[in-house]
Amino acid sequence: MKNWLLFVVTFCLVVICKGQVTWHQLGYEYYIHTGVEVTNQAAVNACTSMNATLARIKTKQVQDFVMEKIKLLYPGTMWKHFYIGLNRINSSSTGFQWNDGTMVTSGYTNWRSGEPNNGDGNENCVVLLYKIGHSLHGKWNDLSCLWNRRYICERRVEKDTTTQQQTTTDTHTDKTTTVTQRAFTTTTTNNDPLEQMKTSCEFSTIHVVMSSLGSIVGTSVVFIIGILIYCKKRRNHDVTAPSPKTRAVS
């Protein structure tokens, strides 16, 4: 019975906590994946599913911010590698391009010594290294995109639309006419792929409430089924159990 209760509690916690993603804001929003390590393409797909891309670390400010957030998640000293949104487009040492199309030429970089070296001839992806107290802490390294690593996502913070109303006064020689133009809504758009995506994965309060209710219902069903299975097995065991042997009469 204890095993069933443990299973139900664990199942409930997993279902309710699933999908609770923490984003850290610094102009953009950043998500640091701490789960199972995946290939670069899987990391790209995971970020896309959250209306994001792999993070572009173009300034030291962003670098320090991300490293500080990782430290909160991993206060220990174990190695952690995180895919970022930088990829090789040619074999030269400067032949790297951010996933928004900008080249890495004179901008901020933080390569480890001797990198990028394209050591295996196919090191077309880049990871951010994390190991507190190590000389390579915070450095970048190129590697094969097939390696399983964690990742950092980035997306633009959704902006609220603003409604404005303009009033224009037209003055003539003998009268003044005030003309009120129709209210209009302004939104900011550009060619950034993050801006072109809808933030459909936001967790509003009602979403969290509905998800929790669904989790409770699902957990209750699993619990009831488990109890029924347990009782049935116990009843079958009692029915099929052999009767005690009687002692032979001498």
pLDDT tens across the length of the chain (250 residues): 545 544 444 444 443 444 468 999 999 999 999 999 999 999 999 999 999 999 999 999 999 999 999 999 998 878 999 999 999 998 876 799 999 999 988 789 999 999 999 988 999 999 999 999 999 999 999 999 999 999 999 999 976 434 334 433 343 434 444 333 333 222 333 333 333 333 333 333 333 334 444 556 556 655 677 777 776 777 766 655 555 544 444 4
Give pLDDT, residue 235. 72
- List, in sequence order, every residue forming a beta bridge with 86; answer none if it has no partner: 98
Give pLDDT, residue 106. 77
Distance CA(22)–CA(36), nearest Å, equals 16
Q: Which residue has the tokens 């792999």?
A: 54
Distance CA(43)–CA(55), nearest Å, equals 11
CB within 8 A of 215, min separation 6: which ones? 12, 15, 16
Joined together, the tokens standing for residue 152 give 């950092």
Closest residue by Cα to residue 17 from 35, 39, 38, 37: 35
Distance CA(193)–CA(155), nearest Å, equals 9
Joined together, the tokens standing for residue 35 give 């789960």
Closest residue by Cα to residue 61 from 32, 26, 30: 26
C-alpha pair distances (Å), 83 with each of 23, 95, 142, 143, 147: 17, 17, 10, 10, 10
Radius of gyration of the chain (CA): 29
Give pLDDT, residue 92. 77
Instruction: Kindly report the pTM of this predicted structure.
Output: 0.58
Long-range contacts of 212-215 (CB under 8 A, 24+ apart): 212/16, 215/12, 215/15, 215/16
Give pLDDT, residue 221. 59
* Count of H-run helices and E-run strands, the chain: 5, 12
Distance CA(137)–CA(32), nearest Å, equals 16
CB within 8 A of 26, min separation 6: which ones? 61, 62, 65
Position 205: which residue type? T
Distance CA(69)–CA(150), nearest Å, equals 14
Joined together, the tokens standing for residue 218 give 């699902």
Position 209: which residue type? V
